[in-house]
Structure 1
């Protein structure tokens, strides 16, 4: 079997309403969908975490892989990815992420060739119901959706998710540069949701160490399951650890520093950003050995989410609920998408490979939206539309 073509399609899939994060208003996902075609008619699906990695795939990865054996992952990677020790120092790491998106498709091809779901290729399932959190944030109203711009509205939104979908795991960004607002909101959530519900927080590095010390002291009585990136650096998290028992997580996959400093406690990553499923499995295994937790990223479409489901099914360490923005996604590129959890879980697909198929009509719709509007900005601040924010916010 040989790779004959790699097709890349940029898509925009907006949320029903944008949400506030540290960088500004976050309106949705601009992704690159990857289709790896073979001379035997088997097509694998991949997904890049941001559209510009799709441009790298078209310019660098695809030409290198034409004619390669898609089942020989080591050979494919060696054709595309320079040594990480060098690229880490030269700012040329985009090839690793771009290949990581394509590598998903190679695993999908392998599963289809052997007519097995990915989790069986990875050794079998230790679980098949994969846990995901609901998400909350301050969201301005948009076409009848959103409108959660005060603590009471966020509380009511989470209660509705509990009552309508059986949700008991909630993660959110309370990002307005106001720690007292965050404390009031968390207090309301704990009182409304009860002691058994999980509450996780994420500030996207908005706080200074001084503010974070005070904030986490005030939040500890509310039994916070995890706080993601309360401050900007691992060194600051290590200093913050001296003042707080709340576990910390990060998207920055620097395991050596985390072990050396003692913080953060957990990693939350996108598989393409780690260089693909094979490299992700190695990273997760290293986390387990070093006593660090791992779960999966949010704001991905159905192809990457399917990869999360299979790897989580086959990996004992990923027992914590992964992040999700499923409830806010108005569409997807896969048939039957987006995935949405019921009673906190999504069932792992049983079809061969990733177990998902592209929806041609949806692909055309979201590709046209990208062509017409260009990529969505995650850094737009209506108060200063021509400037980026400066961190920390408080």
Structure 2
């Protein structure tokens, strides 16, 4: 079997609101680049990647992989990821690996999870991912901790989720701490609480807020301050597990993180960690050093979500509920539309490969949506309601 063609398309799907974060605002839609690898046997593998319009970057890699066997992933990785350091892009390789594994599964009539060692669970619990919102369905903006606690309770009731994570670093840190305090009060002692300022807080601020949150017995404090040093400094002073999807988020930084004591829990991400097989490599290293593993969300659509669910299902120690921006999407590009939540979980897809297929009508619709709205990564780090604002690391 050989890869004979590579096709790429950009799609944009509207959200229920605008999502604020500490470096800007998602402007009411997510966009993804969808990859299709075609083989000489007529099998098509699907991949997906974020980070803006990646069509040009993936097309440049086409000559490197056309003619390759989709089962020969080590050689493909060497050709598209390891070859030249300044062209190395784990995101692009991950999308290609995803598509190759989809081809492999379809060729053998086995699921992607079977290719990774087999599932130990058939559904993955997910969190209530809380963002401070502009332009909610009721037309209002989130303005205080009570708004966010109300949103968490609503997601608990409608989706059945039993854990939350607050995307922090947007409001005054004490107000964001109050969100978790209200959620503990309203949802009880067993509801999982997490907070993630994405490294924007100074070490003194992160330590102060961390100590305030210690009585809540939260699951983890994600990227409380900037860099390996920042996380290590906070971890040494706060009695809460420190998690990360930023430091480290690549294999090069994993050994220093372990040596420095920067982290207790690593959030796996298919794109940062070089595809589903790379996530499995990461899980093995975490097991060696007794680090926890959780699942990071990158604003994915159904193709990548399927890959995430398959991968998570094969990692026994991944007992934390997974991150997902998914409940903010109004639709999906896969046949059948949005995957449903049931009792706070999403089912691992069944069927060969990823277990999902594209809905071509939806693809055409959301290609048009992308052409209308454009690539927002040029204005991702802006706030439309605060035109003079810009992010400052350590400014809080």
Q: Please, what TM-score do these two structures have when normalized by structure 2?
A: 0.92
Aligned to 1:136: 130
Aligned to 2:88: 93
Q: 1:322-341 residue pairs with structure 2 within 5 A?
A: 322-341=322-341
Distance 1:102 1:92, change over 3 A: same
Distance 1:245 1:197 in 2: 19
The answer to whether the Cα contact below 8 Å between 1:37 and 1:44 also exists between their aligned partners in 2 is yes
For 2:218, what is the secondary structure of its paired residue? coil
The answer to whether the Cα contact below 8 Å between 2:200 and 2:393 also exists between their aligned partners in 1 is yes
Distance 1:391 1:242 in 2: 21
Displacement of 1:92: 2.9
The answer to whether the Cα contact below 8 Å between 2:123 and 2:346 also exists between their aligned partners in 1 is yes
Distance 1:176 1:51 in 2: 23
Aligned to 2:56: 55
Query: Which shifted more, 239-248 or 337-346?
Result: 337-346
Distance 2:114 2:288 in 1: 23
Is 1:294 matched with 2:296? no
For 2:31, what is the secondary structure of its paired residue? strand
CA RMSD in angstroms comes to 1.8
Out of 204, 211, 233, the residue aligned to residue 239 of structure 1 is: 233
The answer to whether the Cα contact below 8 Å between 2:306 and 2:354 also exists between their aligned partners in 1 is yes
Is 1:104 matched with 2:98? yes
Is 1:10 matched with 2:10? yes
For 1:230, what is the secondary structure of its paired residue? coil
Out of 376, 380, 383, the residue aligned to residue 382 of structure 2 is: 380
The answer to whether the Cα contact below 8 Å between 2:94 and 2:270 also exists between their aligned partners in 1 is yes
Aligned to 2:222: 228
Query: Which shifted more, 230-239 or 374-383?
Result: 374-383
Query: Which shifted more, 145-154 or 63-72?
Result: 145-154
Structure 1, gaps ≥5 residues long? none
State how many pairs are aligned.
Answer: 387
The answer to whether the Cα contact below 8 Å between 1:54 and 1:98 also exists between their aligned partners in 2 is no
Displacement of 1:46: 0.3
Displacement of 1:119: 1.1
Is 1:74 matched with 2:74? yes
Q: 1:165-176 residue pairs with structure 2 within 5 A?
A: 165-176=159-170
Is 1:30 matched with 2:31? yes
Displacement of 1:69: 1.3
- 1:258-316 per-residue CA deviation (whole Å, 9 max, x = no partner) reads 21111211222321222222222212211111122222221111111111111111111
Q: Please, what TM-score do these two structures have when normalized by structure 1?
A: 0.93
Distance 1:223 1:146 in 2: 32
Is 1:268 matched with 2:263? no
- 1:228-281 per-residue CA deviation (whole Å, 9 max, x = no partner) reads 111011112111122211111111323112211112112223212222222222
For 1:249, what is the secondary structure of its paired residue? strand
For 2:332, what is the secondary structure of its paired residue? coil
For 2:133, what is the secondary structure of its paired residue? coil
Displacement of 1:143: 4.9
Distance 1:82 1:71 in 2: 18
The answer to whether the Cα contact below 8 Å between 1:49 and 1:270 also exists between their aligned partners in 2 is no
Displacement of 1:339: 2.6
Displacement of 1:324: 0.7
Query: Which shifted more, 50-59 or 181-190?
Result: 50-59
The answer to whether the Cα contact below 8 Å between 2:128 and 2:156 also exists between their aligned partners in 1 is no
For 1:51, what is the secondary structure of its paired residue? coil
Distance 1:93 1:80 in 2: 7
Displacement of 1:142: 4.2
Query: Which shifted more, 323-332 or 138-147?
Result: 138-147
For 1:198, what is the secondary structure of its paired residue? coil
Distance 1:79 1:231 in 2: 35
Structure 2, gaps ≥5 residues long? none
Out of 111, 121, 126, the residue aligned to residue 127 of structure 1 is: 121
Distance 1:392 1:171, change over 3 A: same
Aligned to 2:366: 366
The answer to whether the Cα contact below 8 Å between 1:140 and 1:149 also exists between their aligned partners in 2 is no
Displacement of 1:194: 0.6
For 2:256, what is the secondary structure of its paired residue? helix
Displacement of 1:328: 0.7
For 1:16, what is the secondary structure of its paired residue? coil
